[in-house]
A and B are shown apart, each in its own frame.
Chain A
Amino acid sequence: MTVHIRIPMPLRGYTAGADEVQVSAATVGEALAALGAAHDGILGRILSAEGEVRQFVNIYLGNRNVRTLGGLATPVAADDVISIVPAVAGGAPTAKDARLAQLKATVPELMPQQALALQAQGAALVDVREADEIAQGSPPGAYRLGRGYLELRIEEAVPDMNRTVVTMCNGGVRSLFAAEDLQRLGYRNVHSMAGGFSRWKNEGLPVEIPRQLDRQARERYSRHLLMPEVGEAGQLKLLESRVLLIGAGGLGSPAALYLAAAGVGTLGLVDHDVVDRSNLQRQILHTDARVGTSKVASARQSLEALNPGVKVQSHEARLTSANVEQTFSGYDLVVDGSDNFPTRYLVNDACVKLGLPDIYGAVYRFEGQVSVFWPGYPQRRGPCYRCLYSEPPPPEFAPSCAEAGVLGVLPGVIGLLQATEAIKILLKLGDPLVGRLLLYDALRADFHELAVAPNPACRYCGTPGSVPDYVDYEHFCASTTA
């Protein structure tokens, strides 16, 4: 039977332009096979490899879709008309496409070269990529804030809403979203870098591999990383920091443990003593099994067990005028947990001379005190220990723990206040106890603060750069009278 197959224009390339082809067939399938035999290639556009009618095509017999009849087996009669009907479909852009078009209309874009030029003129380049992408490289000087916490962190990095900001990601799409968010926050001059970091790199612009925490460190310090005040930059700062603890005893124990836990990269320990069983009531770095061994060695064992990433430096010696400067050299600050006046004066004098913050703590029975002696504190001139006590008290007014006793938990409280001040100073956070003496009375459960003004006539810190030489501290402390 002869049937007519109507060819739509898009398929007429196969039929030499003919809009209709006549074939002889008994079914629709046979008719299409005959069409394919006569016009090479056309069948591939109509049927799949399995011989099914393609998704984008409909075959009509007269005005009925053969799918609703017997499919390709549908019989045909003479002069039937078979129509190949291309699916005609389409649609508006996806929500994503539409949103991007909208963003491109509101966020000015610029090329990496222009971004670099703007950065050189003081613009903030904000890298919003994920940490693992940034680890592969990032433009030098870029703020690596990521996308997830961008809104929470941007103000700290870029407090000035009038400063030009250029957002960048890897391809230039995420940075559009980020730029719009920054516009909404109130930044007035925000651009997105078209092509992102991949174009930046392809154009040969400067790239650096930023220092980053590894996966383990990220896990260990995750609670710090969640706080924008610490964050990755702060944690890296802690890991690069060096803190010297004078004494691995009552104050030094809690301070050292928490500083190690916090990830202070290098902890120096100065102590010449051995562990005594009577220490264990408060000196939690040590253990019963280590009674009789060196305190510094015992402390190192505990600290390394807590955080193997921390480097513990042993200074197993009595601190003296002769070795103090060499011992202190290279440290960022000193946590003084000493229990005697000669050492306290020596630590103070050396800290004043070297410009180091001296985080002071002392305990007596139920009371403790803590302060930061740091004449060189950039925000305000602070006093030194000698501004507070120019001379040591007579020995009978200042009994040691060995003589007067101490509540075991009390050095825990004071040592941790010292550790807190250390972290604050290292991260430049908050207001340190500079010029403030914090007193703690455990029985009354009372904290009390005294202002300590620097003494302009202090021989030690009154005139910067003219610290008297170290003295014989044992003699100095023994010879003073009330």
Chain B
Amino acid sequence: MSVLYLPEPLRTRIASWVSAGYPLETCGLLIGRQNGAGVTVSETIAARNLNRERAQDRFELDPEAFIEADRQARDAGLELVGVWHSHPDHPPRPSATDRSFAWEGWSYLILSVDSKGVEDMRSWRLADDDFVEEAILP
């Protein structure tokens, strides 16, 4: 099992974005470094959800945010290592839509959120067309 190292302050930050966005689905990117032991996240970015019609259960990350985050990462000698998004009122498991849009090599952090706040978060990686869960450590 691979590992996503997500320091507590970053975790709290994503959770606050996700809660503030509820009941809409929110998304963003993870910046950090990938090495043999896993992925270490050192920065998190919130991005616009371009899917306005179904913002409660779909997301489409703004490509400009992607370019900007990519630039930011390169400037810091880091890279984009993953994507985070919320599942309002649903468990943090990848949906069929998530699977069809997923790319190998990234971590997919999913946070389940309801009116009371973030309930759970899990991270997944695509391997042979299937999501495999990875551990989240601080």
Q: Are A89 and B97 in contact (CB under 8 A)?
A: yes
A9-B80, A9-B106, A88-B29 given as contacts; is B96 within 8 A of A94 (CB)? yes
Dominant secondary structure of chain B at its interface with chain A:
mixed
One digit per residue, 1 when the CB lies within 8 angstroms of any chain A CB and 0 when it does not, for chain B 98-112 equals 100111111010000
Q: Are the CB atoms of A88 and B104 closer together than 8 Å? A: no
Q: Is B67 an interface residue (CB 8 A)?
A: yes
Which residues of A, 22-80, contact B by the 8 Å Cβ criterion?
56, 58, 60, 63, 65
Q: Which of A12, A83, A90 contacts B67 (CB 8 A)?
A: A83
Q: Give the total of A residues in contact with B, Cβ under 8 Å.
A: 26
Chain B's nearest CB lies how many Å from the CB of A246?
69
B17 at the interface (CB under 8 A from A): no
Task: Check if A91 sits within 8 Å of B61, measured CB to CB.
Answer: no
Tell whether A186 is near chain B: CB-to-CB under 8 Å. no
B74 touches A101 (CB 8 A): no
Interfacial chain B residues near A12, Cβ < 8 Å: 105
Task: Specify which chain B residues have a CB less than 8 angstroms from the CB of A91 in the assembled complex.
Answer: 25, 54, 57-59, 95, 97-98
Question: In the complex, which of the residues B67, B80, B90, B104 contacts A93, with contact meaning CB atoms closer than 8 Å?
Answer: B90
A155 an interface residue at 8 Å Cβ cutoff?
no
Residue of A nearest to B83 (CB): A88
> Is B2 an interface residue when CB atoms closer than 8 A count as contact?
no
Chain A residues, CB < 8 A from B66:
85-86, 88
Contact status B91-A8, CB under 8 Å: no
A91 to B99, CA, bound (A): 9
Residues of B within 8 A of A89 (CB): 51, 58-61, 97, 101
Shortest Cβ distance from residue A4 to the other chain B in the assembled complex, whole angstroms: 11
Q: Determine whether the beta carbon of B80 is less than 8 Å from that of A8.
A: yes
CB distance from A15 to the nearest CB of B (A): 12
Tell me if A94 and B95 are in contact (CB < 8 A): yes
Contact present for A101 and B67 (CB under 8 Å)? no
Residue of B nearest to A96 (CB): B96
Cross-interface CB contact of B101 among A19, A56, A63, cutoff 8 Å: A56
Q: Which residues of A contact B64 (CB under 8 A)?
A: 63
Closest Cβ–Cβ distance, residue A162 to chain B (whole Å) = 33
Q: Which of B56, B95, B104 sits near A90, CB closer than 8 Å? A: B95
Partner of A9, one of B67, B79, B90: B79
Q: Give the Cβ gap from B111 to chain A, nearest Cβ, in Å.
A: 11
> Do A90 and B103 have beta carbons less than 8 Å apart?
no
Given contacts A9-B34, A9-B80, A19-B79, contact A90 B105 (CB under 8 A): no
| B128 smallest CB distance to A (angstroms) | 14
Contact A92 B101 (CB under 8 A): no
Given the complex of chains A and B, what is the CA–CA distance between A443 and B137 in angstroms? Answer: 95
**In the assembled complex, how far is the CB of residue B86 from the closest CB belonging to chain A, in whole angstroms?**
8
Asked if A19 contacts B95 (CB within 8 A), the reply is no
Give the distance in Å from the alpha carbon of A90 to the alpha carbon of B101 in the complex. Answer: 6
Q: Is the beta-carbon distance between B96 and A8 smaller than 8 angstroms? A: no
Q: Given A9-B79, A87-B60, A92 and B90 touching (CB < 8 A)?
A: yes
Closest to A6 in B: B70
Q: Would you call B34 and A90 a contact (CB within 8 A)?
A: no
CA distance in complex: A13, B105 (Å): 9
Interface residue B63 (Cβ < 8 Å from any Cβ of A):
yes
Let me know if B122 is at the binding interface, CB within 8 A. no
Report whether B102 and A60 are in contact in the complex, using a CB–CB cutoff of 8 Å: no
Q: Is B27 an interface residue (CB 8 A)?
A: yes
Q: Is A97 an interface residue (CB 8 A)?
A: yes
In contact, B87 and A93 (Cβ under 8 angstroms): yes
Residue A378 interfacial (CB < 8 Å): no
The 9 closest A-B pairs by CB, nearest first: A10-B103, A88-B61, A90-B98, A91-B58, A91-B97, A92-B57, A93-B95, A92-B87, A10-B105
The interface of chain A, by Cβ under 8 A from chain B, is: 6, 8-10, 12-13, 19, 56, 58, 60, 63, 65, 83, 85-94, 97-98, 101
Known: A8-B80, A92-B58, A92-B88. 20 other contacts (CB 8 A): A13-B104, A13-B105, A63-B64, A86-B66, A86-B103, A87-B63, A87-B101, A88-B29, A89-B51, A89-B101, A90-B58, A90-B85, A91-B54, A91-B59, A92-B56, A92-B87, A92-B89, A94-B96, A97-B96, A98-B89
